[in-house]
Structure 1
């Protein structure tokens, strides 16, 4: 019996599949229909009986049954309040519960084929899935009866499948995974026997289903409305949901047929307002569908280019493009991908079945993951071996650590162990190894290349007898292109007081991972102010602004939680920890009061936005886009114009508006609309920075000129060297037109200015004068007057060294609404506060 998981599942939006690794081969587990995949569809009748797969999906054509059929629920994984209703049975199931039904069906297929239901499986998720979506997937696995189910990203799994079939090849690959509901791209390296994902990009709301719906919305629905004179025949009209479910199904079938033919005719019965049914027939052309699909193809290709740029690679560096997902069967997409101008120009590899390759790769990875079992309990007459060793490896020599357990306490003096593989290539046997006082040992074994090496474990008593050991052997498989383990799918970090996102664990970090950094509070927390609050948002995403990402948790520090007042600038040590199953823990420690605060991470309360909220966000995006377009023209910013052109060519706003309309009837579309509008805003943030570039450059010139004089008066050799370096980099930034580089240089100039002013006490005097001028704003007038007098006396006797202490005590009296007098002195790692 294998001691690894071995089963892999691709839990897809449209279809799901399962594969198993056994005897060095990967095979797909077929379902009861003899298919390699199972449609991700669930149907429940009035009696509460459930069908999954083909029979469920076909019920969309039944006027009686279609309201009790649910598909594409993967798009709503992790969203609270999104139960799908089955009116006939008067039952509602959440997306994880629906996904569990699909997983349970796949598990049943494996039980039918192998006689025993698998205890666990590796389940794939989109690379762009966020924490709440991953957690919902794990919940679905548990509901389906699986034990521990590691999650692996879909493009990573696909790369494992290709790597298993192409062992020994040192190369760079890119995975292009265009699935039913999601898109993922991954840059993969196969080097020195290890397969690693260098970077990935994706969109959990970009997939083939969007092309299907676009065919319906742009072509089929308008044609049907004209033919049958239907009023309000749109997808957001709940009166026509049954007809749109049918049109979506036949649109998908026609799209698939167009992978092989130039035209496809669809035929469907539509129900009119009076309840009568009429036949609707329409012929689609391949070119017509390619035009409809173009913006989705463009977005996918742009994501690929972004992943390549982050990996510091170009298309010429990639040896092959691995095609994954049913949408990649479309000739139009393949032609575009092969084109170096319109696409990527990378050699296409479609040697694997794109519909099952993810499940196959998940099974390959599953063969490297130990199956969790309860430790064996030794019984009289035998010993139990607890051993640690890699189940698979790219090395030919590996360590094996073990410990023998006996039914009762015993003396291990004189006991020895031997690991023997006489059939190995080459044969291998360890010397007789003496056990330590706890019955333990550590040794190295030699493996045969690209084969499974099985070692018999012999425990020899002091009298020379061979004892009974369970298990009596261990097996280690050597292969090339060994999977490199799981990685973090999105960056995790903090939202800072200035609204920026500070990533502590970056996307692609190997799991488990830990990060530790020290931040400073941006406000004071006084125990007498019951309403004071320091809030530290825990954020997931890749955007520079915290509010463009997703908040997944919060640390709150209140006056009642601390035994001393916390002045502004108090150190807070933040620790992030993510385990191999992507469980996240965040702790904030305040050394001043020796207290720890744990983040409240609630992934069960993520809701899809309301339609009205999305419509407001859409209007804001449209207004800002128009304003920035005009600003870019006035400023003559080529960089801003380029970003706006790319935004328009990808039809990002058009696609977002389509999702907003669909949000009336779909929580998944609401989540997609929210994400797309945030992404557009993030691009507009960059456009705004580009537009500001001329003003930033002028500010940089003025700041450098002013600092030259200050360095001449107060600086030393090190200060002059720093200024020279800033000036050198300023010339480069001007030539490249890089706003981010200019802002960084302005920050460095500010730091140098503060250093110089502090050196002769000027800064402390300026800060003191600020407090004196704003004495009326401080919370304790009597204490403020006392400190102001103390500072004035220090200045009178020319004791400038006393001012920092006075200023620090005055700062503790600042209300939360009072601006910080230090300006640039405030740490860039500033944590937020709120009243």
Structure 2
């Protein structure tokens, strides 16, 4: 059938995937092989080609079990979603080539698409975890392109689940919490619903927390200790490469344990053979009885991380579990009675009315029914011998009526169009129809009556004798009861840039106004008043400014930039500019993020009246160097010892120390695993931020003295150099100083210190310029001037100005010209490519 909306939604999961489409206004799962709702996100290669889903998973299981007793080259792969956007490669011996995560994901998408047998699928909405970083979203789009989709939109998984849930229940107001614990990632999304209008209020999550972590915990804490107790496997465990393969191979046993204990009180895992050999060449036999209590002890700490993330999300929005109207479960692991019991005890009783395995796919299809196809795709699908019509309407509404426009597209129709054409719109439940209404190429408006929930309509054309005319499109969908679908998806991370603080010289993450977490998409952010540190000469590639773009979690503003997720370094060089850009020139940034989270940037230079247009590349990948990560962990441990020496709250320090110990243990288990190292790095950054916050608590006594000293210095400068206006400013700062000291607020104190320093700098700048000229005049022969005659001329001019009571404006250009005559090694130090703010 001809479609004008995307109508197809895919849940591209870590362990399982599903595809749905809109049929008659309903989101219907397309059965995998005609039988199942989902298929394993597994790909295998044999000598004849590619396998996907269950067949591939059977190969994967066989390979893993075989690897316990011998070395094999893998040809089956799973959980590659966790390495999307990284440099991880999967080698297939049958193909004799490396494969990226995107290439493997593309095979999953192709397979899902192949189950649609009655029409070509050119466009799709693909879901991604809410806290997927920009490079991971880009990788998902690349996978869609490789799979042959001409148009692919991305939708956050919790949003998709909320859409499907919202249409299948009567709760139209209040707060909903989507608890999305998947095979590889965890998302918690808080939605506020008012009169059916849904809005994502806040999100939190972990890209490296999911079912894989549960399986590996069972391997590490139950299965391997059992094997160690009865056999010698030190050679395996002390070799990083062997250990990685061994843990992966044992995961199938962990899954078996987990599944059996979901409905049994205890289970005996018995493997007489196929478990490999120990260091002495003896066959390993597994005979292990595990109880539900044993399993709960191992899995509860992992589930607790997800519960804690959810509680943190509620707390920062001043809510409790009792404030929620619904707690919606998403993902296979949420079938576990362990997590359901934990959620009921610590937050509230979950709503189990939706299928955690299919709700995301269905929600994606419902959202897809609101997204228009491009004209190019629509035109490709036209059967032009039929009368072509255009149907205009709102895709979703909270009203019970909706105006629909119909018009004949004469230029798109190659068949005969009768002189008079009548149209009838009928709702699929047969409870309402419009009756026959004459339409033409100008258009006609018809008021449709809606029922609550999903509304499918069919359009039929007639001639003046009542004969049915062949036409397309024939169907359309209106979702009643949910409004604002196009704006409910928001930014799940703060977007910002790395800047050098003008007052302190500190390199930090500066949040871009308008791109804060939870801003609705599309979004536009601005960063104005930035300054260049050096001149940029036209046509010179070596003269450039650098704008490092980052994504940061809640509370990222003002943190060290390296603690956040680096997206891309935007470089603007002299080759991009039409003329000389002087030092200290203004730069105004505008960053645009569309609803599918594609990023573009405009950098405006007022001095040149020139705008540089930059599209952020969508093909970047990330890597984590093992030795560097090891060193970062070591430095973190050193910082903990410093906290102990400074007498910081022992309980808080102990918690951080425990976190680092756990991270170190995970790192030891995954030194050759890209996914594992990414997980360690993500959590290490969070711990380093906490260390910084605790370090600040020891700063107060010393900081208070420094702050007072800064203010007294400003007071003296004002007494010597100030006027009535500056005195008013100083008095205002004195009041702020008293408030900061009273509350011992170090964060506000640092902001005040920057303000005091800025006022002092402006007040005394003319004297700093005088000192610069005098110092370089007295030590003229010590500098390696590029043009000594010009330098002497400038210094003489400066000395003359000094004798005439100069202003900052008089001396500043002279000093700038002098600095440019110095070799780079003798210029003031610092990274002068980064913008100052």
**Structure 2 length as normaliser, TM-score?**
0.83
Query: Is 1:585 equivalent to 2:591 in the alignment?
Result: no
Counterpart residue number, 2:416: none
Cα distance in 2 for partners of 1:694, 1:419 equals: 80
Query: Is 1:393 equivalent to 2:397 in the alignment?
Result: yes
Could you list the per-position Cα deviations for residues 742-785 of structure 1 after superposition, in whole angstroms to 9, with x for gaps in the alignment? 21122233344456x2xxxx532333323432455676544444
Q: Check the 8 A contact 1:68/1:87 in 2, yes or no.
A: yes
Query: 1:655: how far off?
Result: 3.6
Cα distance, 1:708–1:773 mapped onto 2, change above 3 Å: closer
Counterpart residue number, 1:506: 516
Cα distance in 2 for partners of 1:152, 1:422 equals: 31
Cα distance in 2 for partners of 1:40, 1:554 equals: 33
- Between Structure 1 and Structure 2, how many residues are aligned? 796
Cα distance in 2 for partners of 1:51, 1:468 equals: 39
Counterpart residue number, 2:260: 257
Query: 1:604: how far off?
Result: 3.2
* Of 778-787 and 568-577, the range deviating more from structure 2: 778-787
Query: 1:350: how far off?
Result: 2.8
**Equivalent position to 1:644, from 634, 649, 653:** 653
Cα distance, 1:576–1:380 mapped onto 2, change above 3 Å: closer
Counterpart residue number, 1:297: 303
Counterpart residue number, 1:23: 24
Cα distance in 2 for partners of 1:733, 1:259 equals: 55
Cα distance, 1:534–1:407 mapped onto 2, change above 3 Å: closer
Query: 1:283: how far off?
Result: 1.8
Counterpart residue number, 1:284: 290
Q: Check the 8 A contact 1:611/1:660 in 2, yes or no.
A: no
Query: 1:102: how far off?
Result: 2.1
Cα distance in 1 for partners of 2:526, 2:52 equals: 49
Cα distance in 2 for partners of 1:819, 1:699 equals: 28
Counterpart residue number, 2:236: 233
Query: 1:130: how far off?
Result: 1.2
Q: Check the 8 A contact 2:198/2:484 in 1, yes or no.
A: yes
Cα distance in 1 for partners of 2:405, 2:725 equals: 54
Counterpart residue number, 1:364: 366
Cα distance in 1 for partners of 2:728, 2:367 equals: 53
Query: 1:591: how far off?
Result: 3.2
**Equivalent position to 2:695, from 685, 688, 697:** 688
**Equivalent position to 2:96, from 76, 86, 90:** 90
Counterpart residue number, 1:10: 11
Query: 1:449: how far off?
Result: 4.5
**Equivalent position to 1:271, from 250, 269, 276:** 276
Query: Is 1:136 equivalent to 2:144 in the alignment?
Result: no
Cα distance in 1 for partners of 2:723, 2:448 equals: 61
In the alignment, structure 1 segments of 5+ residues that lack a partner are 410-414
Q: Check the 8 A contact 2:26/2:456 in 1, yes or no.
A: no
Query: 1:204: how far off?
Result: 0.8
Counterpart residue number, 1:38: 39
Q: Check the 8 A contact 1:157/1:358 in 2, yes or no.
A: yes
Matches within 5 A, 1:211-610: 211-234=214-237, 237-239=240-242, 243-268=246-271, 269-272=274-277, 277-311=283-317, 313-339=319-345, 343=346, 345-372=347-374, 374-376=377-379, 384-386=388-390, 388-396=392-400, 405-407=409-411, 445=447, 447-450=449-452, 452=455, 454=457, 471=473, 476-480=478-482, 483=485, 484-497=487-500, 498-504=506-512, 505-525=515-535, 527=537, 531-542=542-553, 543=556, 544-562=559-577, 564-599=579-614, 601-610=616-625
Query: 1:368: how far off?
Result: 2.3
Cα distance in 2 for partners of 1:193, 1:610 equals: 48
Counterpart residue number, 1:412: none
Cα distance, 1:643–1:110 mapped onto 2, change above 3 Å: farther
SS in 1 for 2:192: strand
Could you list the per-position Cα deviations for residues 168-202 of structure 1 after superposition, in whole angstroms to 9, with x for gaps in the alignment? 52111112212111111111111122111111111
Counterpart residue number, 2:212: 209
Cα distance in 2 for partners of 1:380, 1:30 equals: 31
Cα distance, 1:473–1:244 mapped onto 2, change above 3 Å: closer
SS in 1 for 2:234: coil
Cα distance in 2 for partners of 1:216, 1:440 equals: 68
Q: Check the 8 A contact 1:250/1:267 in 2, yes or no.
A: no
Query: 1:595: how far off?
Result: 4.2
Could you list the per-position Cα deviations for residues 592-630 of structure 1 after superposition, in whole angstroms to 9, with x for gaps in the alignment? 334444447444342422322222222222222222332
Q: Check the 8 A contact 1:572/1:589 in 2, yes or no.
A: yes
SS in 1 for 2:202: strand
Query: 1:446: how far off?
Result: 5.7
Cα distance in 1 for partners of 2:451, 2:697 equals: 55
* Of 221-230 and 292-301, the range deviating more from structure 2: 292-301
Cα distance, 1:125–1:816 mapped onto 2, change above 3 Å: farther
In the alignment, structure 2 segments of 5+ residues that lack a partner are 414-418, 501-505
Counterpart residue number, 2:503: none
* Of 381-390 and 694-703, the range deviating more from structure 2: 381-390
SS in 2 for 1:592: coil
SS in 2 for 1:681: helix
**Equivalent position to 2:680, from 654, 657, 673:** 673
SS in 1 for 2:696: helix
Matches within 5 A, 1:741-820: 741-754=748-761, 757=763, 762-774=764-776, 776=780, 781-800=788-807, 802-807=810-815, 809-810=817-818
SS in 2 for 1:362: helix
Query: 1:719: how far off?
Result: 6.1
Could you list the per-position Cα deviations for residues 24-73 of structure 1 after superposition, in whole angstroms to 9, with x for gaps in the alignment? 44443332383332222222234444243343443245528883222211
Query: 1:466: how far off?
Result: 13
Query: 1:669: how far off?
Result: 1.4
Cα distance, 1:617–1:104 mapped onto 2, change above 3 Å: same
SS in 2 for 1:348: coil
Q: Check the 8 A contact 2:9/2:363 in 1, yes or no.
A: yes
Cα distance, 1:44–1:236 mapped onto 2, change above 3 Å: farther
SS in 1 for 2:364: helix
Q: Check the 8 A contact 2:403/2:448 in 1, yes or no.
A: no
Cα distance, 1:739–1:646 mapped onto 2, change above 3 Å: farther
Cα distance in 2 for partners of 1:730, 1:302 equals: 37
Cα distance, 1:22–1:375 mapped onto 2, change above 3 Å: closer
Query: 1:476: how far off?
Result: 3.3
Cα distance, 1:459–1:309 mapped onto 2, change above 3 Å: farther
Cα distance, 1:478–1:338 mapped onto 2, change above 3 Å: closer
Counterpart residue number, 1:73: 80
Cα distance, 1:779–1:315 mapped onto 2, change above 3 Å: farther
* Of 679-688 and 272-281, the range deviating more from structure 2: 272-281
Cα distance in 1 for partners of 2:611, 2:759 equals: 34
Cα distance, 1:591–1:20 mapped onto 2, change above 3 Å: same
Q: Check the 8 A contact 2:455/2:477 in 1, yes or no.
A: yes
Q: Check the 8 A contact 1:499/1:547 in 2, yes or no.
A: no
SS in 1 for 2:835: strand
Cα distance in 2 for partners of 1:485, 1:235 equals: 49
Query: 1:266: how far off?
Result: 1.9
Cα distance in 1 for partners of 2:422, 2:318 equals: 48
Query: 1:509: how far off?
Result: 2.6
Could you list the per-position Cα deviations for residues 352-399 of structure 1 after superposition, in whole angstroms to 9, with x for gaps in the alignment? 222333223223322322344534499999874445532222345667
Cα distance in 2 for partners of 1:683, 1:793 equals: 54
* Of 604-613 and 715-724, the range deviating more from structure 2: 715-724
Query: 1:564: how far off?
Result: 4.3
Cα distance, 1:197–1:91 mapped onto 2, change above 3 Å: same
Cα distance in 2 for partners of 1:360, 1:429 equals: 32
Counterpart residue number, 1:627: 642
Query: 1:131: how far off?
Result: 1.6
